Structure 1
């Protein structure tokens, strides 16, 4: 009974949030009016810097492919920051739709979706994990199950300001697979918001592969640069 009440309350909350943030006539990128049921105005859409580069995350002999929709700049950067720090779920829905279109366009095939976990401190402060939000929205559009596969076992320093080597060391041994998760033979789509050195995503992939996943494909909204 308790779980059913919790799920119902969660569903109602999501519906309320959708109503609160459903300012469909205003572009979240520039606050100008938009028409034709678009979520972004034509001017903001034209400024998106699409990333046509497929990254290969590698360390020693391990490698994984990372697909990235855009570069971390302009309107995409603003939408990510809106979702991450302002609880702007309209911006999140736009990002999820862009990622879903990217998945379809590139014919990405996978059995399930997961996401880069947040620390307990970040979840408590923010109330949600932005990567989980995006993963669930993509999963719903693709009709593919989204599952919590990992958790972050320790607090780490903010990655901002750290160089490549420091980022890898900062995140070392930070992620663990949840108990009773069977990933054997599965192709998994791992969702992240921003990828810079790839340390976070790679270390998560490492955990998934060590848990017998067949393959992990990384999908991020944006690619940053150190």
Structure 2
């Protein structure tokens, strides 16, 4: 019996026992209802060439003039990290063990790739430190990367990039503090990505410090390009 048929049958039975509910309003029927989908503020306007912050017309935002990112080729985000369903989805995925949400959200990342006409050879999730992953039980960025890989028919690499030390939460830190917090926190342990174009996957981008630190490590391992893809941009 094909494994795919078994998986589909298992999912069908699970949906019968625990029908999907919208991760934002909890309406029954799907992981994201039409009403909540229509509330999502997708970023479909001009953005800063480097960090992906929505701007009017210039190529760079003010932050990138003052604190330019050094290693990442660019970051693109699907939507605004505001008080909308995207914020709820990320919370459910990261803190409520709601892994099924990742499949829905990965489609938003795929749409972002198409919108900006980006290309890559491989997908790399931003790694958690092993102690944090052990406590959480999984890496939400890997779940997003896995589903995105299925959508784009791209491999996912989890063996090259490692978070080598635990870092403080970035939430309460300023721009420079964020960069110092993640400086040298990542390392590429092999050259398997040498010459490869990389999509780097994370859930939220605020200043781009984490993505830039990861890109530094990946390019030290001779990756050709590194583009960050995140679900949300926090302003």
For Structure 1 versus Structure 2, the TM-score category normalised by the shorter chain is 0.7 to 0.9
Match of 1:158 in 2: 169
Q: 1:159 to 1:24 in 2, by over 3 A?
A: same
Q: 1:21 to 1:117 in 2, by over 3 A?
A: farther
1:64 correspondence with 2:59: no
1:190 correspondence with 2:200: yes
Instruction: Choose from 200, 220, 223 the match for 1:210.
Output: 220
Structure 2 Cα separation of the partners of residues 220 and 47 of structure 1: 18
Moved over 4 A (4+): 15-25, 60-63
Residue ranges of structure 2 left out of the alignment (5+ in a row): 52-63
Contact 1:193–1:220 (Cα < 8 Å) also in 2:
yes
Contact 2:21–2:27 (Cα < 8 Å) also in 1:
yes
Match of 1:31 in 2: 26
Instruction: Choose from 100, 106, 123 the match for 1:96.
Output: 106
Give the 3-state SS of the residue equivalent to 1:160 in structure 2: coil
Contact 1:54–1:65 (Cα < 8 Å) also in 2:
no
Q: 1:116 to 1:163 in 2, by over 3 A?
A: same
Match of 2:186 in 1: 175
Structure 2 Cα separation of the partners of residues 87 and 147 of structure 1: 23
Could you tell me the TM-score, scaled by structure 1's length? 0.83
Structure 2 Cα separation of the partners of residues 39 and 184 of structure 1: 38
Q: 1:81 to 1:110 in 2, by over 3 A?
A: same
1:130 correspondence with 2:123: no
Deviation per CA, 1:53-75, whole angstroms, max 9, x where unpaired? 53414647545211100011210
Structure 1 Cα separation of the partners of residues 228 and 13 of structure 2: 31
Instruction: Choose from 142, 148, 153 the match for 1:143.
Output: 153
Q: 1:156: Cα distance to partner? A: 1.1
Could you tell me the TM-score, scaled by structure 2's length? 0.80
Residue ranges of structure 1 left out of the alignment (5+ in a row): 1-7
